[in-house]
Structure 1
Amino acid sequence: MHTSIISRNGNYLGLLVANTILGSAMPMLIILGGLAGLILAPSTALATLPASLQTLAGLLAAAPFSFLMGQYGRKVGFITGVACAVIGALIGVWALFTGNFVLLCVAHLALGAALACFQYFRFAAAETVSTEWQPVAISLMLTSGLIAAFVGPQMFIETKDTLVPVPLAGAYAALAVLSLIGLIPLALTRLPAPKNGSPQSIKERFASLSVLKRKPVRLAVGLGAVSQGIMVFLMVPTPLAMIGCGFSEAVAGDVIRWHVVAMFAPSFFTGFLIKRFGVQPIAIIGLALLIVASGAALSGLTSIHFYGSLVLLGIGWNFGFIAATTMLANSVTDDEKALVQGANDTMIALVSTVCAFAAGAIIAGFGWAVLATVSLALLVAASVMFLKETRKVA
């Protein structure tokens, strides 16, 4: 067997193209949320509210989208996510034309829900190939983020002023068009139909959460949450810390750019490493890289320290997140997927939200060194727990 088994898989390629197109919305929204909020917010203190509500929507929408896909199939779920993206983008255009901040917040709620939906492309990818090739399929699916990191910001630059004289409205309109284009490869895919059993009551669904107590599932969810949470914890305040150290906005932006490249570029080979050496060694390497990244952040405030820390952070996230996704895909049955994947992504979104707010408070009140120290301590504790639990599973 070789990589042609992936390249000949039309359904997988359709998902990959759709995810690449739809995923380009994420970097655009990182830019748009704050800038549009700054234009329309009644006070500067509320400028980041649309972006915060977008994160909150992702937290609230993760489980419902998983249940929707479990009941009606992945394609129905993704089409619903695209509908949320189109509606949210058009409301964003309307908000800017009318100068309505409340509408802008509604727009970002819908867009946040769409982004939560698109996270399930990695699980859908695993379902189009055999178990042996699942880590490769998941890993290559995340390479779309590398393309999006370049396409999204460039699209923002090219479209933000197209609906003059209203600034940024063109970028929201471009998001709607981009989302509709993403439907084309999605429509050409044939995804496995959901294996529906008898409908479960709410009480039965809560009882089914006991599957999360299984060690392999618990390890996968914990690893994914730690990898994502620490990445957010260090990434979000980096530009603020760098500007506080006297670096220009351009240099701070360049550090974030290379961090994003480091997050997704390893996806070209991470899956093959998992296939060759196993998922647990790659997970351990991912945690180790995150620890080194925190140590680098703590060791100095030069540009080399910031670049090195954020690049290592990106690679460590990639190894940990892909390993966690692979572990979860291998640890649940078809009947358990909707429940467990929804709980997994909800937990990841919750931890990310907490880490984002905590990072802001720590960097403002105590500084970068304390932030890096907290990150290092959390990672060492998480790594010890992970190694202890993996030995029990073995």
Structure 2
Amino acid sequence: MSRKILMTTSFSAATPSTQDNPSQRRILTVLFLSQILSGAGLAAGITVGALLAQDMLGTTGLAGLPSALYTAGSAIAAVAVGRLSQSRGRRPGLAAGYLAGALGSAGVVLAAVIDSPVLLFAALFVYGAGTATNLQARYAGADLATPARRGRALSTVLVATTLGGLVGPNLASPMGALADGLGIPHLAGPFLLAGTAYGTAALVLAFWLRPDPLLLARELAGSAPAPTAAAGPASRARRSGSVRFGAVVMVLTQLVMVAIMTMTPVHMQHHGHGTAASGLVIAIHVAAMYLPSPVTGMLVDRFGTLAIAASSGVTLLAAGILAAVAPAESVPLLALALALLGLGWNFGLVAGTTIITDTVPLASRAKTQGLVDVSIAIAGATGGLASGIVTAATSYAFLAVSGGVLALTIVFFLPAKGNRKGTSE
């Protein structure tokens, strides 16, 4: 408890009114704009990635491979972006990640044009850097926030992705038509949008994310009075336990969300729905992933991370059950199931991110955040790869229900006692 008070007092002394700081407002504005762009790039690829692989390979069993590849690529990118941010700041780290996502998108388009599955898989791996960077941007929004407002600060960045996420999937059909006109395979069209969006986001951050939030936070913290007592073994053990719990919450929610989300467009296509219908469902899903973020942030700040983490497991279970029992011809019910899937993921991400940000010191924050996001990316890759295999061997309904049950195990990892940071009082 004493360490928590010392850390909070120290940071507050350095930044007594961070939430009203002009630098913080500018940083949030720039991050908001870049997240709109990156959200469009992320959602566009999600919408048709599995369908493109299925079309090129001629099998459903490997339809989950694109999701597995770009989430595996995001694991490597999470380490790279985290380390670059740790040494140079958030601006070069995030800009480099989005630039890699743009190059991967261009590679997917080229692979579709020359009908090369090998190039497709390699490009999807690189494309995953955009996904990793999109997630890591949330940490930048919280770097300068006071502890009592971190949930809301990171949620402000997350919600911006909603706008791009709504636009991206609904442009799948028009971008496919544009691709047809350019002599590019129809399903590669959304990756034209993804490449443009990621590239523009990289430029926005490279030129306008000034001052760098992480570097400024370090400067402010360095000018604060030093703590009067060092953290003891018990305090370090609580911090380590909090990091593990925050990571477990985000890993489980990512795995379940990616698995069910990946196979939903394939499930819909098998029952006669086109890209417009699946794009609408994915757009609603992505909106539910990010749009509730401000409310979720306030709930985390008000009721604590543990309550919201538990809510994520319950919500994902409800999503899995509804997806399983919804008639395949019912787009509204599938959309509702995917909305619940996105909401449960949002609860887990905001709660888990707040735990990590509150717990890890500034000196090692970006590096640790990158390593945690590696675990999240690996979980996503596992969910994406397993989703096609499980669906082919059983059914979409079995995948959805089993995913929901897995998500509910978050409840069993809850600490017996905790505060909003997930640590013991």
- For Structure 1 versus Structure 2, the TM-score category normalised by the shorter chain is 0.7 to 0.9
Q: Over residues 87-125 of structure 1, what are the superposed CA-to-partner deviations in whole Å (9 max), with x where a residue is unaligned?
A: 334444544555544443333232212322232100011
Q: Does the 8 Å contact 1:215/1:393 carry over to 2?
A: no
Q: Does the 8 Å contact 1:15/1:125 carry over to 2?
A: yes
For residue 166 of structure 1, give the secondary structure of its aligned residue in structure 2. Answer: coil
The answer for the alignment partner of 1:310 in structure 2 is 338
Q: Does the 8 Å contact 1:93/1:170 carry over to 2?
A: yes
Shift of residue 219, structure 1, vs aligned partner? 1.0
In the alignment, the residues of structure 1 paired with residue 65 and residue 409 of structure 2 have an alpha-carbon distance, to the nearest angstrom, of: 33
The answer for the alignment partner of 2:251 in structure 1 is 225
In the alignment, the residues of structure 2 paired with residue 306 and residue 154 of structure 1 have an alpha-carbon distance, to the nearest angstrom, of: 16
How has the CA–CA distance of structure 1 residues 233 and 44 changed in structure 2, closer, same or farther, with 3 Å as cutoff? closer
How has the CA–CA distance of structure 1 residues 358 and 92 changed in structure 2, closer, same or farther, with 3 Å as cutoff? closer
The answer for the alignment partner of 2:92 in structure 1 is 76
How has the CA–CA distance of structure 1 residues 226 and 38 changed in structure 2, closer, same or farther, with 3 Å as cutoff? closer
Whether 1:124 and 2:150 are equivalent positions in the alignment is no
The answer for the alignment partner of 2:204 in structure 1 is 185
In the alignment, the residues of structure 2 paired with residue 49 and residue 289 of structure 1 have an alpha-carbon distance, to the nearest angstrom, of: 26
Q: Over residues 268-313 of structure 1, what are the superposed CA-to-partner deviations in whole Å (9 max), with x where a residue is unaligned?
A: 3211222222222222222222233334445564747544433222
The answer for the alignment partner of 1:266 in structure 2 is 292
Shift of residue 24, structure 1, vs aligned partner? 1.4
Whether 1:385 and 2:405 are equivalent positions in the alignment is no
Shift of residue 332, structure 1, vs aligned partner? 0.5
Q: Does the 8 Å contact 2:42/2:130 carry over to 1?
A: no
For residue 363 of structure 2, give the secondary structure of its aligned residue in structure 1. Answer: coil
In the alignment, the residues of structure 1 paired with residue 107 and residue 80 of structure 2 have an alpha-carbon distance, to the nearest angstrom, of: 22
Counterpart residue type for residue 287 of structure 1: G
Whether 1:360 and 2:360 are equivalent positions in the alignment is no
How has the CA–CA distance of structure 1 residues 370 and 167 changed in structure 2, closer, same or farther, with 3 Å as cutoff? closer
The answer for the alignment partner of 1:325 in structure 2 is 353
Shift of residue 63, structure 1, vs aligned partner? 1.5
Whether 1:374 and 2:402 are equivalent positions in the alignment is yes
Whether 1:165 and 2:183 are equivalent positions in the alignment is yes
What pairs with 1:157-306 in structure 2 (closer than 5 Å)?
A: 157-160=173-176, 161=178, 164-167=182-185, 172-186=191-205, 187-189=207-209, 190-192=211-213, 194=215, 214-241=240-267, 246=271, 248-249=273-274, 253-297=279-323, 301=327, 303=330, 306=334
Q: Does the 8 Å contact 2:50/2:266 carry over to 1?
A: no
How has the CA–CA distance of structure 1 residues 234 and 105 changed in structure 2, closer, same or farther, with 3 Å as cutoff? closer
How has the CA–CA distance of structure 1 residues 37 and 228 changed in structure 2, closer, same or farther, with 3 Å as cutoff? closer
In the alignment, the residues of structure 2 paired with residue 384 and residue 253 of structure 1 have an alpha-carbon distance, to the nearest angstrom, of: 35
How has the CA–CA distance of structure 1 residues 2 and 337 changed in structure 2, closer, same or farther, with 3 Å as cutoff? closer
How many pairs align? 379
Q: Does the 8 Å contact 2:143/2:214 carry over to 1?
A: no
Tell me whether 28-37 or 129-138 shows the greater mean CA deviation. 28-37
Q: Does the 8 Å contact 1:219/1:389 carry over to 2?
A: no
User: Aligned to 2:44, which of 11, 25, 28?
Assistant: 28
Q: Does the 8 Å contact 1:215/1:389 carry over to 2?
A: no
Tell me whether 329-338 or 80-89 shows the greater mean CA deviation. 80-89
How has the CA–CA distance of structure 1 residues 296 and 34 changed in structure 2, closer, same or farther, with 3 Å as cutoff? closer
In the alignment, the residues of structure 2 paired with residue 355 and residue 281 of structure 1 have an alpha-carbon distance, to the nearest angstrom, of: 25
The answer for the alignment partner of 2:167 in structure 1 is 151
In the alignment, the residues of structure 2 paired with residue 181 and residue 308 of structure 1 have an alpha-carbon distance, to the nearest angstrom, of: 32
In the alignment, the residues of structure 2 paired with residue 296 and residue 173 of structure 1 have an alpha-carbon distance, to the nearest angstrom, of: 33
Shift of residue 217, structure 1, vs aligned partner? 0.8
Counterpart residue type for residue 198 of structure 2: S
Q: Does the 8 Å contact 1:212/1:340 carry over to 2?
A: no
Q: Over residues 313-366 of structure 1, what are the superposed CA-to-partner deviations in whole Å (9 max), with x where a residue is unaligned?
A: 222221121111111110100122133212211111111222223332222222
For residue 335 of structure 1, give the secondary structure of its aligned residue in structure 2. Answer: helix
The answer for the alignment partner of 2:222 in structure 1 is none
The answer for the alignment partner of 2:228 in structure 1 is none
In the alignment, the residues of structure 1 paired with residue 214 and residue 415 of structure 2 have an alpha-carbon distance, to the nearest angstrom, of: 37
Q: Does the 8 Å contact 1:241/1:363 carry over to 2?
A: no
Shift of residue 129, structure 1, vs aligned partner? 2.4
Gaps of 5+ in 2: 1-16, 220-235
The answer for the alignment partner of 2:8 in structure 1 is none
Counterpart residue type for residue 102 of structure 2: V
In the alignment, the residues of structure 1 paired with residue 195 and residue 278 of structure 2 have an alpha-carbon distance, to the nearest angstrom, of: 30
How has the CA–CA distance of structure 1 residues 211 and 361 changed in structure 2, closer, same or farther, with 3 Å as cutoff? farther
In the alignment, the residues of structure 2 paired with residue 71 and residue 2 of structure 1 have an alpha-carbon distance, to the nearest angstrom, of: 23
In the alignment, the residues of structure 2 paired with residue 216 and residue 153 of structure 1 have an alpha-carbon distance, to the nearest angstrom, of: 36
Identical residues among aligned pairs (%): 27
In the alignment, the residues of structure 2 paired with residue 373 and residue 47 of structure 1 have an alpha-carbon distance, to the nearest angstrom, of: 20
Shift of residue 76, structure 1, vs aligned partner? 1.0
